[in-house]
Amino acid sequence: MDVSIRPARRAQFEELGEITAQAYLGDGLLDFGAGDPYLEQLRAVERRAADAEVLVALDDDGRLLGGVTYVEPGSPWADIAGEDEAEFRMLAVSPEARGRGVGEALVRACIDRARARGGLSGIVLSTQSSMAAAHGIYRRLGFARSPERDWSPLPGFVLLTFRLEL
């Protein structure tokens, strides 16, 4: 399957928000299930697109397969990035598109943007310990764990961090 990556269009925001929310729910990544307040953030694609670049993956027929938010330094969407680092967040792939390289294509697009921007020392991300498939993608693409940067957005909830030197 060929996958193309491009910036999300306004008409795709709602669908991408739902794909992202359902990916997190379906994988059991939200402590409070369907009542988790983070679902609002996951669905807020339009809000993210105002201050970051939201990318989508499409198949040959133009069907939306997933997306990611690429964050430049200084963006309000940056969680852990330093002043000379890019970050990506909310990587999600629809269940029917998993295992086809969609997630990797989205991560590669983020890396390409960070390299093309120039002047950045690295690209970083936060992830949950249970996201083993995603960790495999990150390691395969050269990311290394940066445990000194692990953090907790909520008490008792630790996010692991990875960094790729550019």
pLDDT at 27 (0 to 100)? 86
Structure tokens at 39: 């679902």
pLDDT at 1 (0 to 100)? 63
Task: Indicate the pTM of the whole model.
Answer: 0.94
Tell me the per-residue pLDDT of 155-166, one tens digit each, with 9 for 90 and over: 888 999 999 999
Q: Is the dihedral of CA 66, 71, 76, 80 positive or negative?
A: positive
What class has domain 4-165? alpha beta
Sequence length of the chain is 166
pLDDT at 51 (0 to 100)? 96
Q: Which amino acid belongs to residue 108?
A: R
Low-confidence ranges of the chain (pLDDT < 70): 1, 32
pLDDT at 46 (0 to 100)? 98
Place of tokens 């940056």: 78
Q: Are 45 and 16 in contact (CB under 8 A)?
A: yes
Q: Is the dihedral of CA 137, 141, 144, 149 positive or negative?
A: negative
Tell me the per-residue pLDDT of 47-80, one tens digit each, with 9 for 90 and over: 999 999 999 999 999 999 999 999 999 999 999 9
The Cα–Cα gap between 63 and 61 comes to 6
